[in-house]
Amino acid sequence: MSEHTKYLLGEGKIPHAWYNIVADLPSPPPPVLHPGTGQPVGPSDLAPLFPMALIGQEVSAERQVEIPTPVRDIYRLWRPTPLYRARRLEKAIGTTARIFYKYEGVSPAGSHKPNTAVAQAFYNKEEGVAKLSTETGAGQWGSSLAFAGALFGLEVKVYMVKVSYNQKPYRRALMETYGAKCVASPSNETDSGKAILKKHPDSPGSLGIAISEAVEVAAKNPDTKYALGSVLNHVLMHQTVIGLEAIEQMEEAEAYPDVVIGCAGGGSNFAGIAFPFIGKALREKKSVRAIAVEPAACPSLTRGKYAFDFGDTGHLTPLVKMHTLGSEFIPPGFHAGGLRYHGMAPLVSHLKELGLIEARAYHQNPCFEAGVQFARHEGIVPAPETTHAIRAAIDEALKAREEGKSPTILFNLSGHGHFDMQAYSDYFAGKLEDQDYDPKALEASLAHLPKVAAE
């Protein structure tokens, strides 16, 4: 076993291809359906929203999809990202386990999200698109796409969930620094936004509403396409650079993970670290436990229904089969803004149904406690989203001590929390509640799931 604290790869080790787990699954995921006809959508249905190259990736069954050279060249700005052994944390909690973490916070925007933002901006530019529209919650995705747009000369318009727009002015300033335009959602700029404001003038907004606004803008403007920061198959695939690098780094560390952990909002950073290891397990019978960790106040994987649903509140998107809380579900305003989505990636949901992954949910106070403990021993202040993965990693490590076992645990440190310090201040002031979702609201929201003949 190697003695290093961090494992660094040279730029030559940036992967040349993304990994598509569909090629290794025992059964393919269900198709995406047109809400009007209930039939699978074709490329022409999606063409107003996405460039053809990404539509092709969305339905691809190829195991490897080559990373274009211009994308790989931009990845050089921060990839390969470091893998750390959490030696100080291990010692502090007195565990017999080995804990490793992959650190995606070294990207310019501070999270894993530029891995797909750069790829999406590239393919849009290639196909002559001038403008991108998107939504953002806490602002991590908006700032990542703003960064990617700046590098490729694309105009970027971001609809930011209103509560976060007001809570996180520095994320907004970051988007503007990269040249993007950012508006609070619901806004008066779109029909979907106006409809919500008419009914609820004080609406705090939600990711589902902001997606409706961004999709509407792309659908109505021929020079504009839409970009999504998680959930879709091509987004999850772009994130697999995380796990592919981690496989090499774990080899350098002369270790292999028994458990791989990621927090899960839409599912992309979890898929990014876990899918390459699950793929190895499927091909080489090298077993691994993969754990997706979500907030107890927005528990799509652990409490949602596996059903066809809309991706947005305004019902402009196609229907995807996923673990969902219902597209009208508005989660309480807890601090991990990036985990406040009503659904889960269809691929992550499919793997859950196949029994290939586990899921668990935590309240926010125990997560912040783990985040603070991590910062005091490892130095990095994690994003509120990431603290969910750290909570699970520490719990697995403590369980190992009780059971007298010494497993190897790997988690994805999806981003740093430098723009989220208000959340930490609130935590230290004892102002954070361990909110639960409202079971009545969930029941009502699930009662409105679209009826699909195929089910």
Ligand X SMILES: *Cc1c(COP(=O)(O)O)cnc(C)c1O
Q: Which stretch binds ligand X (CB under 6 A): 46-54, 121-129, 365-373, 379-387?
A: 379-387
Between residue 409 and residue 448, which ones bind ligand X under the rule CB under 6 A?
A: 414-415
Q: Which is nearer to ligand X, 257 or 262 (CB)?
A: 262
CB of 139: closest distance to ligand X in angstroms?
9
- CA-wise closest residue to 346 among 35, 104, 58, 57: 58
CB of 263: closest distance to ligand X in angstroms?
5
Between residue 86 and residue 115, which ones bind ligand X under the rule CB under 6 A?
A: 111, 113
Torsion of CA 213, 215, 220, 222, to 10 degrees: 140
Q: Which is nearer to ligand X, 57 or 95 (CB)?
A: 57
CB of 268: closest distance to ligand X in angstroms?
3
The answer to whether 17 touches 64, Cβ cutoff 8 Å, is yes
Q: Which is nearer to ligand X, 169 or 222 (CB)?
A: 169
How many residues interact with ligand X (rule CB under 6 A)? 20
CB of 226: closest distance to ligand X in angstroms?
16
Q: Which is nearer to ligand X, 239 or 313 (CB)?
A: 239
Q: Which is nearer to ligand X, 164 or 190 (CB)?
A: 164
Cα-based angle 294, 312, 146 (whole degrees, multiple of 5): 80
CB of 146: closest distance to ligand X in angstroms?
14
Beta-sheet strands, E only, within 325-390? 358-362
Rg of the Cα atoms in the chain = 20
- CA-wise closest residue to 50 among 63, 67, 32: 32
Between residue 307 and residue 366, which ones bind ligand X under the rule CB under 6 A?
A: 338-339
The phi and psi torsions of 349 (rounded to 5 degrees) equal: -60, -45
Q: Which of 216, 245, 378, 385 binds ligand X (CB under 6 A)?
A: 385
Q: Which is nearer to ligand X, 121 or 263 (CB)?
A: 263
Residue type, 105: G
CB of 398: closest distance to ligand X in angstroms?
23
Q: Which is nearer to ligand X, 107 or 124 (CB)?
A: 107
* Residue 417: burial class (beta carbons within 10 Å; 0-12, 13-18, 19+): buried
Q: What is the largest CA-CA distance in the chain?
A: 62
CB of 104: closest distance to ligand X in angstroms?
7
313 vs 326: CA distance, rounded Å: 9
The residue number with the shortest CB distance to ligand X is 415
- CA-wise closest residue to 338 among 114, 79, 133, 161: 161
The three-state DSSP-derived secondary structure of 134-192 is EEECCCHHHHHHHHHHHHHCCEEEEEEEHHHHHHCHHHHHHHHHCCCEEEEECCCCCHH
Q: Which is nearer to ligand X, 225 or 416 (CB)?
A: 416
- CA-wise closest residue to 322 among 340, 304, 339: 304
Beta-carbon-side half-sphere exposure of residue 204 (alpha carbons within 13 Å) = 13
Between residue 225 and residue 284, which ones bind ligand X under the rule CB under 6 A?
A: 230, 263-270
311 vs 299: CA distance, rounded Å: 16
140 binds ligand X (CB under 6 A): yes
**51: Cα separation from own chain's centroid:** 21
The phi and psi torsions of 411 (rounded to 5 degrees) equal: -130, 160
CB of 418: closest distance to ligand X in angstroms?
11
CB of 401: closest distance to ligand X in angstroms?
27
CB of 380: closest distance to ligand X in angstroms?
12
Q: Which is nearer to ligand X, 54 or 253 (CB)?
A: 54
DSSP letters for 55-105: HHHHT---SEEEPPHHHHHHHTTTPSPPEEE-HHHHHHHT-SSEEEEEEGG
143 binds ligand X (CB under 6 A): no
Taking residues 187 to 206 in sequence order and writing x for each that binds ligand X by CB under 6 A, - otherwise, the string is --------------------
Q: Which is nearer to ligand X, 154 or 336 (CB)?
A: 336
Interface ranges with ligand X (CB under 6 A): 111, 113, 140-141, 230, 263-270, 338-339, 383, 385-386, 414-415
